[in-house]
């Protein structure tokens, strides 16, 4: 039987993701919006993420380089205290929920990740970080649904949570007319090295 070969290129980004209970909390608030705006292209809950660095289309040979440097960075990165808050939109077409909490730490992590990517010789468009969780996209002929859905999220304040993993993610954006899908290429627990260094016994006086 023929085994499907891996694609020669991948559309890649580095991201964080809220824990399941934080996503479930927001999904519950969105139930009315799901029913009221079925014409929007809603992201799957399991695909919700906070992009730190969007790298675009990369050769698959770049992935091992990224795995190496990102694994080391994740181990040394303390967890961040974040939360989901409110809603907004980009250009009336992309609906998002905002990010609250340790935004200074989030921007610092994103800057470090981008520098690591550049250290691998990988070029990408370095856009300013605007922390958000993408929820849905509208068709070009629908300028109303996304702003209305964003207004309905204005008062939402989710519970705070700690980041758990750094994710290297691949997507099928631009690979056909179907829905956008994401998959973890790999994920690393944050702070593993920090906890290991702190778990040793105290020296004798």
Indicate the pLDDT class of residue 13, thresholds 50, 70 and 90.
very high
Which residue segment(s) compose the domain that 60 sits in? 9-194
CATH of the domain at 73: 3.90.1140.10
pLDDT at 159 over 90: yes
pLDDT in tens, 35-77: 999 999 999 999 999 999 999 999 888 999 999 999 999 999 9
Specify the range with the lowest mean pLDDT, choosing from 102-106, 134-138, 177-181, 184-188.
177-181
Q: Is residue 119 part of a domain?
A: yes
Residues 150 and 93 sit within 8 Å (Cβ to Cβ): no
Model confidence at 3, pLDDT cuts 50, 70, 90, reads very low
Task: Give backbone dihedrals phi and psi of 159, rounded to 5 degrees, phi first.
Answer: -70, 150
**Total domain count, the chain:** 1
Indicate whether 204 belongs to any domain. no
Q: Does residue 4 fall inside a structural domain? A: no
- Cα–Cα distance for residue pair 161/178, rounded to 1 Å: 33
pTM attached to this predicted model: 0.86
**Whether the Cβ atoms of residue 77 and residue 102 lie closer than 8 Å to each other:** no
Q: Mean pLDDT, the chain, as a whole number?
A: 89
pLDDT tens digit string along 24-42?
999 999 999 999 999 999 9
Residue 3 lies in a domain: no
Q: How open is the CA angle 71-51-66, to the nearest 5 degrees?
A: 30
Report if residue 103 sits inside a domain.
Answer: yes
Identify the weakest region by mean pLDDT among 21-25, 31-35, 89-93, 194-198: 194-198
Query: 2 lies in a domain?
Result: no
User: With pLDDT > 70 as the criterion, what percentage of the chain qualifies?
Assistant: 86
- What integer pLDDT is reported at residue 201 of this predicted model? 43
Whether 203 maps to a domain, the answer reads: no
pLDDT at residue 192, as a whole number: 81
Exposure string of 151-171, with b = 16+ CB inside 10 Å and e = fewer, is ebbeebebeebebbbbbbbbb
Asked if the model's pLDDT at residue 170 lies above 80, the reply is yes
User: Is 202 within a domain?
Assistant: no
Asked whether residue 140 carries a pLDDT value surpassing 50, the answer given is: yes
């Amino acid at each position: 039987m023929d085994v499907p070969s891996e694609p020669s290129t991948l559309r890649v980004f580095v991201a964080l993701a809220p824990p399941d209970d934080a996503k479930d909390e927001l999904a519950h608030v969105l139930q009315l919006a799901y029913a009221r705006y079925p014409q929007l292209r809603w992201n799957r809950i399991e695909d919700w993420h906070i992009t730190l660095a969007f790298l675009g289309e990369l050769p698959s040979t770049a992935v091992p380089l990224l795995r190496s440097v990102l694994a080391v960075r994740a181990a040394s990165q303390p967890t961040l205290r974040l939360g989901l808050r409110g809603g907004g939109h980009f250009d009336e077409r992309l609906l998002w929920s905002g990010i609250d909490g340790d935004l200074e730490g989030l921007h610092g992590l994103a800057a470090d990740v981008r520098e690591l990517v550049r250290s691998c010789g990988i070029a990408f468009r370095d856009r300013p970080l605007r922390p958000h969780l993408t929820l849905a996209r509208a068709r070009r002929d629908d300028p109303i649904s996304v702003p209305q859905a964003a207004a309905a999220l204005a008062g939402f304040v989710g519970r705070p949570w700690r980041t758990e993993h750094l994710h290297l993610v691949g997507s099928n954006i631009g690979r056909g007319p179907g829905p956008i899908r994401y998959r973890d290429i790999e994920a690393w627990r944050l702070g593993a090295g920090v906890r290991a260094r702190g778990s040793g016994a105290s020296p004798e006086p």
